[in-house]
Amino acid sequence: MRWAPLLLLVLVLSSTHFCFAQKSFLFVKKNGHKVRTWTEGDNIRLRLVNDDLIEGRILLLRNDTIYINDLAFKSNFVKQVILKRREKKPFPVTGLQLLYITGGVGLATVGMKASGWETTGRALLYSSVIGYGPILISAITRNLNLRRKQYELGGKFQLQVLDFYLPSQPRNKAAF
């Protein structure tokens, strides 16, 4: 029976490890629906109304003010939220892998012709599609970028700061 209070103490102390303070949020909304969300500590790129580009970590979100890298500005001064820089993506396979795939295409062509399934031209076409098709699809989808690159604020999109900061209320000392 002596272990019950000790177990309760360990349980209470270990449960406080998982308690965190509520963070503030920065939303981009389209027609009233949330499209993208950032919290304090996330990296963001913004273009202001005077065409300054600000990039950095969100330090604090409070009262419609965004604090990024020791700079503070109101959320209505933001013209654009830029999502990502475009990275140069390498070709999906190396030269040695391409050599192996070419050898596999040749072996598949010879195998289809030797077994009598297809003519030489059709066997070469089928094995080429099987060998090089996934590479072509991967290369095309890597270079195609159908995602949104930025949010232009003001028209469809709005920027909203949601903070849970409750300032201390001044005491009302009314005399009755």
pLDDT at 19 over 80: no
Tell me which H or E stretch contains 6.
Answer: helix 3-15
Do residues 42 and 60 touch, judged by C-beta distance below 8 A?
A: no
Which phi and psi (to 5°) does residue 134 adopt? -60, -30
Given this model, what pLDDT does residue 127 score? 93
pLDDT at 167 over 80: no
Instruction: pLDDT band for 86, please (50, 70, 90 cuts).
Output: low
Given this model, what pLDDT does residue 102 score? 93
Distance CA 32, CA 25 (A): 15
139 CB-near residues (< 8 Å, 6+ apart): 91, 92
Exposure of 94 in the CB half-sphere (CA atoms within 13 A): 2
pLDDT at 73 over 80: yes
Do residues 146 and 152 touch, judged by C-beta distance below 8 A?
A: no
Distance CA 122, CA 165 (A): 70
Given this model, what pLDDT does residue 106 score? 93
Instruction: pLDDT band for 140, please (50, 70, 90 cuts).
Output: confident
Q: Which stretches does DSSP call E strand in the chain?
A: 25-30, 33-39, 43-48, 53-62, 65-68, 71-74, 78-82, 150-152, 157-162
Given this model, what pLDDT does residue 119 score? 87
Length of the chain: 176
Given this model, what pLDDT does residue 32 score? 83
pLDDT at 9 over 80: yes
Given this model, what pLDDT does residue 1 score? 59
Instruction: pLDDT band for 155, please (50, 70, 90 cuts).
Output: confident
pLDDT at 104 over 80: yes
Token code pair at residue 160: 């909203």
